[in-house]
Structure 1
Amino acid sequence: MDRPQIKAPGLKFRPRSGGWAAYWLPSPEAQRRGYPSASVPLSHLITAPELLIDACQRLQTDMLAWLDGLRRTRNTYDGTLGSALRVYQLHPESPFHELKPGTRHPYVTYLRLLDRELGDIRVEGVTALHVKRWHHGWTGDGARPAAGHMRLAILKAALTFCVVAGHRECRILRDDIRELRLPGPRARTLVANAEQVRRAITAAHALKRPSLALAYAVQFETALRQWDVTGQWYPLGDATLCSLVDGDRKWAGLEWRHIGEDGLLRYTPSKTRGSSGAEVLIDLSLCPMVLQEIARVPIEARTGPLIVCERTRLPWLDVDFRRTWRRVREVAGLPPELWSRDLRASAITEGRRGGAINDDAAKVAGHTNSRITAEVYDRERLEAHRRFATARLGRRSPDAGGTA
């Protein structure tokens, strides 16, 4: 089927099996500034072009009005908490623009909530006791500690940047807040063992999502972060070097080219790419689950992104990945509290329980800041992974991806 020839502001078409899907996408500028709406699916209107065009025009008008409001208040601090939050989000030198896509989304959500709740309050009239009372309400009397912790962290980040920008009264409130000892969310303790990961992989295949089976195997065996394994989508204006562009966005993450002919996976995680530059080096011959899943992938398909959604033929969107994990978790009979992101912590835990030393675990996780020659550094990381992986495999039964 040919691509529909419908023209409307923000309208994009993407190929799907048996046809095309229609989406409205905000402009790169709106995405860069944290526009609260992402892509809007409009496929149900393809057969009614007039309605499709009208929907796009309405969405475009809303976006332009939102941008116009930001432009009128851009970088303008007027002594209110709302203006401090906006300066933090909009100033071109704010660290807000350095946030990764997965982190930026909740920041935008909570910035909007904080502005709605506190925007008209003047900074100079706020004390740490006010913030303590607000925090109690944000957590729902302790029932939602993560929500309170996130709001407080964003408020402090906004005040800190305003201090840097020269708004001195923000320093007093920021420093007073730092004196508070407020309860935060408890550290996550739930981990999956190798047998549970194998069940998740089996469930992914049962749901005809082999890409997810490979993703879970890589997350668990290599201890890479989920957003490195599946990659992240960035606005086109982001400075991150990306290998894939799709419309108004681009993608960077783990690719088949990162696996060498020697069976070694070499990858610089996104978290260290702009800081220490620490690279992880993984010997896949000691990652049986990964090898089993790679063997299912035809040789000619081993190009580009490692994990590609079967439906879109593009790397997974984070929201779709998390939504499908809930289905996989249900089919596999895993605890409902287990997150897909917990597979990295599960990997480290398995290794430590198997006797791996902390230094090896740190190297495998990409936490090292060593500054020695590349040759010695590579050898240390490779041997660290081999010791780490051997410690893990020694705890597994053969039917859970271990050695006989």
Structure 2
Amino acid sequence: MRYEFPGLKRRLNKDGRARLYWVARADLAKAGYKPKTVPLHYDWRDLEQHQLISSACMKFQAEMLEWASGRKDTAPPFDGTVKGLSRQYQRDEASPYGRLKWNTQRTYDHVLETIENAFGDRALSCIGLKDFRRWYDAARKPKTSGGRERIRKAHGVISMLRRLVSYGVAAELPECARLASILRETSFEQPAQRRVRLMLEHVEAFIPVAIKRGRLSLALGTAFQFETTLRQRDVIGEWEPLKDGDEPSGIVLRGRRWVNGLTWSDISKDFEIYKVTTKTGAIAAHDLKLCPLVMKVIGMIPADKRIGPLIIDEEAGRPYAEHAYSREWRVIADAAGVPRAVWNMDARAGGISEGDEAGADLDDIRAQAAHSQASTTIRYVRGTIGKSRRVAQLRSAHRAERKPNG
């Protein structure tokens, strides 16, 4: 028999096998239709599964066309399932999902896809504590036999379920209040906080290797991250998808515009910077003259090259593409002897921890890192002895004061 497969796309894995996806029409996806992509867990080589593939494609295509026919402003009927709740959360204009930043939406979409594929057809009315425990335990199992448990993934699934039912309570959807109360009274093991940090000796070993290999951009980016404690995104920037109707101005690559990174114009003639951070909108202010590693690398860059984005991929001639900076950073880090357990993202924790170890006031460190609360700063202090040493010195001085004369 001949079947129709509207929206079907096939993409090859590294092993040569085809993975199947249903993909929404580009114009409707741009107009706001979700989901944009749905993985289909069938084997194209098995002819008997073609009917199932066709049925799935027809179903998703029909939902999309129904939305396009005039129901854009009306959320589809809630069918009482986990998948129905997930779709409602993504499509409802009153849902907090629509106010999330694009990259947060992308992260949430990955987790929601996992949830829908694993137990999306379960009715909310039939779910209880045992189900949540079973799903958590299944998600935390190692990817391969003998591998590490994936606690971070399992905790992410539970966190997303909490968001879904919390939205459901606000939207007055059936069963959500009951499920929210179960999750509120239940605790699940959380992933351990990272304990490693990029240290001064790592940075001092990294920079000369990066320079020798023609990666001045990586040397400068790492120096900035460590000495100013700015997040990677605030130093190198990010590629934000163009919205429908946006003019493709600025630096644009494949429908994305480079934003939020440092530019040479951000550095004043006195080598000071004032940067609005992407996560909180707080202003981070730094005097680069007090950042010797940064000044050393800047001094290697000719004045006529100090135009546009601060960090430029030498090979591409533009800001680093997504994930390329961390990937290339790892190559240099390996050559410089930086332990594999230490990541580029640990530069921020390294700078904050060094400040704590040097005896800096916690509130001053908080201000430098542009944190709104000191409790956030404390989470970045990793394995330092600064506070312990200060307490021990104060105790010793106190004992000396209490000793009788002579």
TM-score between the two structures when normalised by the length of structure 1? 0.71
Q: Could you say which residue in structure 2 is the equivalent of 1:79?
A: 80
One-letter amino acid of the counterpart of residue 153, structure 1 = S
| Letter matched to residue 78 of structure 1 | D
How far apart in 1 are the matches of 2:179 and 2:130? Answer: 11
Q: Return closer, same or farther for 1:64/1:126 CA change in 2, 3 Å cut-off.
A: closer
- The Cα of 1:202 is off from its aligned counterpart by 2.6
The answer as to 2:122 corresponding to 1:150 is no
1:34–1:104 CA distance, 2 compared to 1 (3 A): farther
User: Superposition RMSD on alpha carbons, in Å?
Assistant: 3.2
Which has the higher mean CA deviation after the structures are superposed, 179-188 or 293-302? 293-302
Match of residue 50 from structure 2 = none
Deviations 1:51-105 (A, max 9, x none): xxxxxxxxxxxx9997875565773221110111122223334333444454343
User: AA paired with 1:90?
Assistant: R
Q: Please state how far the C-alpha of 1:359 moved relative to its aligned partner.
A: 0.2
Asked if structure 2 preserves the Cα contact closer than 8 Å seen for 1:30 and 1:67, the reply is: no
The residue number in structure 1 matching 2:335 is 331
Tell me, yes or no, if the aligned pair for 2:85 and 2:164 is still in contact at 8 Å.
yes
| 1:192 corresponds to | 198
Instruction: Pick the aligned partner of 2:230 from 191, 214, 224.
Output: 224
Secondary structure of the 1:251 match is strand
Query: 2:350 matched to which residue of 1?
Result: 346
Aligned residues with identical type, % of pairs: 31
Residue 307 (1) aligns with residue 311 (2): yes
**Correspondence for 1:119:** 120
Q: Structure 1 residue aligned with 2:189, among 162, 168, 183?
A: 183
Is contact 1:36–1:108 with CA below 8 Å preserved after alignment? no
The structure showing larger relative contact order (alpha-carbon pairs under 8 Å, at least 6 residues apart) is: 1
The Cα of 1:318 is off from its aligned counterpart by 2.9
Comparing 326-335 and 239-248, the one that deviates more: 239-248
Segments of structure 1 that go 5 or more residues without pairing to the other structure are 1-25, 38-62, 371-390, 392-404
CA distance in 2 between counterparts of 1:318 and 1:294 reads: 24
Residue 251 of structure 2 corresponds to residue 250 of structure 1 = no
Q: Which residue type is aligned with residue 187 of structure 2?
A: R
Give the one of 209, 216, 238 matched to 1:210: 216
Deviation at 1:107, TM superposition (A): 2.1
Any unmatched runs of 5+ in structure 2? 1-24, 39-56, 143-147, 375-385, 387-406
Q: Residues of 1 paired with 2:138 and 2:64: CA distance?
A: 28
Q: How many residues align?
A: 318
**In 2: Cα distance, 1:195 partner to 1:286 partner:** 18
Closer, same or farther: CA 126–227 of 1 in aligned 2, 3 Å: same
Cα deviation digits, residues 327-364 of structure 1 (max 9, x gap): 22211211111111110011100000000111001101
Q: Secondary structure at the match of 2:134?
A: helix
Larger mean Cα displacement after TM superposition, 255-264 or 201-210:
201-210
Which shows bigger deviation, 70-79 or 352-361?
A: 70-79
Larger Rg computed on CA atoms: 2
8 A Cα contact 1:27 1:248, kept in partner: no
Choose from 359, 369, 392 the match for 2:363: 359
Does the Cα contact within 8 Å between 1:192 and 1:343 map onto a contact in 2? yes
User: Distance in 2 between the 1:174 and 1:226 partners?
Assistant: 35
Query: Does the C-alpha gap of structure 1 residues 184 and 169 become closer, same or farther in structure 2, counting only changes over 3 Å?
Result: same
For 2:10, the equivalent position in structure 1 comes to none
CA distance in 1, matches of 2:205, 2:125: 56
> Structure 2 CA distance, aligned partners of 1:118 and 1:325?
38
Check 1:247–1:281 CA distance in 2 against 1; reply closer, same or farther (3 A cut).
same
From the superposition, tell whether residues 34 and 162 of structure 1 become closer, same or farther in structure 2 (CA, over 3 Å).
same
8 Å contact kept, 2:222–2:347:
yes
Q: 1:289 to 1:64 in 2, by over 3 A?
A: farther
Shift of 1:239: 12
